[in-house]
Amino acid sequence: MEKWFSKAIITWYQENKRDLPWRHEKDAYKIWLSEIILQQTQVAQGLSYYLKFVNKYPSIKHLAKAPEDEVLKLWQGLGYYSRARNLHASAKMILNTYAGVFPQKHSEIKNLKGVGTYTAAAIASFAYDLPHAVVDGNVYRVLSRVFGIKTPIDSSAAKSKFQDLADQLLDKKNPAIHNQAIMEFGSQFCKPNNPDCNACILNSRCFAFKTKIVSELPIKTKKAKIRKRYFNYLVLADKNKDVLIRKRQAGDIWQGLYEFKLQESEMETSQEQLFESAEFKSIVTSKFGLKYVSKQYKHILSHQHLFAKFYVISVSKKFTKSNKPKLDTNQFTPINLKQLKAFAFPRLTGKFLEDCDLKEIL
């Protein structure tokens, strides 16, 4: 079906594609790594992380054998940390189940943790030239506009409808280059806003261009509810310049990353309200001195807007340190300021630590 489509986008791709390191690869491990990094990340940001991971973990075995804390630290700043945890868990599974050799069947690839329909198709086609069509946001946009599909892309009917069309359009003799081409075309040319339709190679056949509804497609109906959360971080330090941190557990954002004492509120809280609250008094039980109050940091996630302030507080009571701090538990553990850089914090906390010299303040 529609051989003109595949021929046109492949021709465009060969003349306009970006030179990206994973496009020179047939190593399924490196292709998988690039796809996981790019799931929620733009190429411009993800490229440096891809190179860091390939350098640090040149094989699945290296990644599988690494401590989770080390993997999360290397991932720090990319966000959506479940990707890193799933990547690590899958590497262990591949090592144990497939002797460290990346699976070659589409069904086995799809069973890896963190790998969905799109990612499995991408890896299968790019690494093994298997005829599986990719459908991501870029593909939705191209197909919706060119073929005039008005089914909302966030509806239950859209997934099978777009996948069926993508499967029919796929050049089964050249699935890798076809898939790369349609995604690159959507990303770099058939953009969400103000695409240069007059110069488009598909405009003579594009339904949206001919009917002047390019800006209306693809259609999306649901609007995500945005939750606002206010984080008041208490950076508690004793006379030894030890601060309390803990590893965040499952059930919320940033699982496996580290944090200071946190007092969350439903709305913005003044310093006075914070210090007078029963929760604060239950946390800070000895004499204390306020050393520093940060600016408010804003961090935007897909369904949450986070607003955070950091209160650097010195306490008169010395923290008790064990010889082997159990940082894999939900308990707060004293860590010297010099050691903080070794731990993976959420990007929001990372910005605070970059802006604020705790050694000088304390």
**What distances in angstroms separate CA 327 from CA 67, 76, 244, 330, one per listed residue?**
13, 18, 11, 8
What are residue 216's phi and psi, to 5 degrees?
-95, -15
Report, as an integer, the average pLDDT of 286-312: 92
* Per-residue confidence (pLDDT) for residue 196, from 0 to 100: 94
Chain mean pLDDT for the chain? 92
Looking at residue 225, its pLDDT comes to 85
Residue 322 has a pLDDT of: 56
Task: Give residue 318's pLDDT.
Answer: 83
Domain residue spans of the chain: 3-216, 227-361
User: CA–CA separation, 223 vs 331, rounded Å?
Assistant: 38
Lowest mean pLDDT among 64-78, 100-114, 156-170, 328-342: 328-342
Rg (CA), the chain: 25
Q: Per-residue b/e over 157-173, b at no fewer than 16 CB within 10 Å?
A: ebeeebbebbeebbbee
The average pLDDT across 139-153 equals 96
Q: Answer whether residue 348 shows pLDDT above 50.
A: yes
The reported pTM is 0.85
Report phi then psi at 192, rounded to 5.
-60, -40
Q: What is the bridge-based pairing of β-strands 227-237 and 304-315?
A: parallel
pLDDT tens-digit map of 213-232: 999 999 988 777 899 999 99
Model confidence at 325, pLDDT cuts 50, 70, 90, reads very low
Q: Between 117-128 and 175-188, two packed helices, what is the crossing angle to 10 degrees?
A: 120
The candidate with the shortest Cα–Cα distance to 234, out of 262, 259, 258, 254, is 262
Write out pLDDT tens, residues 57-77. Answer: 999 999 999 999 999 999 999
Residue with tokens 């984080």: 231
The predicted pLDDT at position 156 comes to 87
Each residue's pLDDT tens digit, 111-124: 999 999 999 999 99
What one-character DSSP code corresponds to residue 112? Answer: S
Positions annotated as catalytic residues are 35
Classified as helix, coil or strand, 71 is: helix
Closest CA to 195 of 205, 182, 185: 185
Does 329 have pLDDT greater than 60? no
Q: Of 279, 273, 270, 247, which Cα lies nearest the Cα of 260?
A: 247
Q: How far apart are CA 210 and CA 67, in angstroms?
A: 55
CA distances from 300 to 85, 200, 348 (A): 21, 34, 10
- Residue 249 pLDDT grade (very low, low, confident, very high; cuts 50, 70, 90): confident
Please say if the pLDDT value at position 154 is more than 80.
Answer: yes
pLDDT in the model for residue 303: 87
Distance of CA 105 to the CA centre of its chain: 26
Tell whether the model's pLDDT for residue 326 goes beyond 60: no
Q: What percent of the chain has pLDDT over 90?
A: 80
**For residue 310, what are the β-bridge partners?**
233
Q: Which one is predicted more confidently, 281 or 16?
A: 16
- Mapped onto helix, strand or coil, the DSSP state of residue 119 is helix
pLDDT(2) > 90: no
d(CA 8, CA 12): 6
Could you tell me which CATH number the domain at 227-361 has? 3.90.79.10
Q: Decide which of 170 and 223 is more confident.
A: 170
Distance CA 2, CA 264 (A): 55
What band does 324 get if pLDDT is binned at 50, 70 and 90? very low
* CATH 1.10.340.30, domain 3-216, yes or no: yes
